[in-house]
Amino acid sequence: MGKPGVFNKALICDPPILKVMQSSGGGAAEHLLESEIGVHWKEEELINPPPKFIAQANMADPAIFERFGEENFPECFREYAELLSWDRYWHTTLDTSNPPFWKWFVGGKLNASYNCIDRHLAKHRNKAAIIWVPEQEEEPDQILTFQELYSRVNEFALVLSEVAGLKKGDRVTFHLPMNPSLPVSMLAAARLGIIHNEVFGGFSAKACAERMEDAKSKILVTCDGYYRNGQWIDKKADADLTVDEASKVGIKVEKVLVWRRYPGKYLSKAEMVAGRDYFVDELLKKMHGKRVYPIPMDSEDPLFLMYTSGSTGRPKGCQHRTGGYLAYAAGTSKYVQDIHPEDVYWCFADIGWITGHSYIVYGPLALGATTVMYEGVPMFPDPGRSWRIAERLGVNIFHTAPTTIRMLRKAAPNEPDKYNYHFKTMTTVGEPIEPEVWRWYYDVVGKGEACITDTWWQTETGGIMCSTLPALQSMKPGSAGSGMPGIYPIIYDENGNEIKKGERRAGNICIRNPWPGIMQTIWGDPERYVRQYYLKYCKNTSSKDWHDWPYFAGDGAVLAPDGYFRILGRVDDVIKVAGHRLGTKELENAALTTKEISEAAAVPLADELRGHVPLIFASLKPGATPSKEIEAEVVSNIAKELGPIAKPRAVYLVPDLPKTRSGKIMRRVLAAISNNEDYGDVTTLANPDVVETIRKTVREHSV
* Binding positions for ligand PRX, rule: CB under 6 A: 308, 353-355, 429-432, 454-459, 480, 553-555, 567, 569-570, 581
Residue 360 Cβ vs ligand PRX, minimum distance, rounded to whole Å: 12
Cβ nearer to ligand PRX, comparing 419 with 492? 492
Report the first-to-last Cα separation within the chain, whole angstroms.
35
Angle at 363 between CA 360 and CA 366, to 5 degrees: 115
Nearest to 595 by CA among 651, 634, 642: 634
Query: HSE (CB half, 13 Å, CA atoms) of 17?
Result: 16
Query: 298-308: b or e for each residue (b if 16 or more CB lie within 10 Å)?
Result: bbbbbbbbbbb
Residue 308 Cβ vs ligand PRX, minimum distance, rounded to whole Å: 5
Cβ nearer to ligand PRX, comparing 16 with 430? 430
Q: Is the peptide bond before 99 cis (omega within 30 degrees of 0)?
A: no
Residue 556 Cβ vs ligand PRX, minimum distance, rounded to whole Å: 9
Q: For residues 556 and 571, is the Cβ–Cβ distance under 8 A?
A: yes
The beta-carbon contacts of 90-95 under 8 Å, at least 24 apart in sequence, are 90/299, 90/323, 94/514, 94/546
3-state secondary structure 65-92: HHHCCHHHCCHHHHHHHCCCCCCECCCE
Residue 456 Cβ vs ligand PRX, minimum distance, rounded to whole Å: 4
Residue 16 Cβ vs ligand PRX, minimum distance, rounded to whole Å: 16
Cβ nearer to ligand PRX, comparing 115 with 458? 458
Name the residue type at position 542: S
Name the residue type at position 554: G
Query: HSE (CB half, 13 Å, CA atoms) of 534?
Result: 26
Cβ nearer to ligand PRX, comparing 99 with 554? 554
Residue 479 Cβ vs ligand PRX, minimum distance, rounded to whole Å: 9
Helices (H), 130-193: 146-158, 181-191
Q: Can you name the residues that pair with 558 across neighbouring β-strands?
A: 566
Rounded to an integer, what distance in angstroms lies between the CA atom of residue 45 and that of residue 62?
21
Cβ nearer to ligand PRX, comparing 36 with 343? 36
Residue 454 Cβ vs ligand PRX, minimum distance, rounded to whole Å: 5
Cβ nearer to ligand PRX, comparing 347 with 634? 347
Cβ nearer to ligand PRX, comparing 355 with 474? 355
Residue 576 Cβ vs ligand PRX, minimum distance, rounded to whole Å: 6
Name the residue type at position 357: H
Contacts of 128 (CB under 8 A, 6+ apart): 143, 144, 145, 370
Cβ nearer to ligand PRX, comparing 5 with 378? 378
Residue 567 Cβ vs ligand PRX, minimum distance, rounded to whole Å: 4
Chain position whose Cβ is nearest to ligand PRX: 459
Cβ nearer to ligand PRX, comparing 124 with 196? 196
Query: HSE (CB half, 13 Å, CA atoms) of 134?
Result: 17
Nearest to 529 by CA among 463, 476, 460: 460
DSSP secondary structure string, 413-461?
Answer: TTGGGGS----SEEEEESS---HHHHHHIIIIISTT-SEEEEEB--GGG
Cβ nearer to ligand PRX, comparing 294 with 478? 478
Q: For residues 111 and 292, is the Cβ–Cβ distance under 8 A?
A: no
Cβ nearer to ligand PRX, comparing 455 with 619? 455
In this structure, the chain runs to a length of 703
Rounded to an integer, what distance in angstroms lies between the CA atom of residue 107 and that of residue 676?
56
Q: CB 92: neighbour CB atoms within 10 A?
A: 15
Cβ nearer to ligand PRX, comparing 174 with 227? 174
Residue 430 Cβ vs ligand PRX, minimum distance, rounded to whole Å: 5
Cβ nearer to ligand PRX, comparing 266 with 348? 348
Residue 457 Cβ vs ligand PRX, minimum distance, rounded to whole Å: 5
Residue 341 Cβ vs ligand PRX, minimum distance, rounded to whole Å: 24
Residue 503 Cβ vs ligand PRX, minimum distance, rounded to whole Å: 20
Our CA dihedral for 318, 321, 324, 329, rounded to 10 degrees, sits at 60
The beta-carbon contacts of 274-279 under 8 Å, at least 24 apart in sequence, are 276/243, 277/236, 278/163
Cβ nearer to ligand PRX, comparing 569 with 614? 569
Rounded to an integer, what distance in angstroms lies between the CA atom of residue 517 and that of residue 80?
11
**β-strand 597-607 against 611-620: which pairing, if any?**
antiparallel
User: Which SS3 state, helix, strand or coil, does residue 488 take?
Assistant: coil
Residue 509 Cβ vs ligand PRX, minimum distance, rounded to whole Å: 9
Residue 329 Cβ vs ligand PRX, minimum distance, rounded to whole Å: 12
Cβ nearer to ligand PRX, comparing 236 with 612? 612
Cβ nearer to ligand PRX, comparing 555 with 641? 555
Residue 103 Cβ vs ligand PRX, minimum distance, rounded to whole Å: 23
Q: What single DSSP character describes residue 486?
A: T
Rounded to an integer, what distance in angstroms lies between the CA atom of residue 517 and that of residue 238?
33
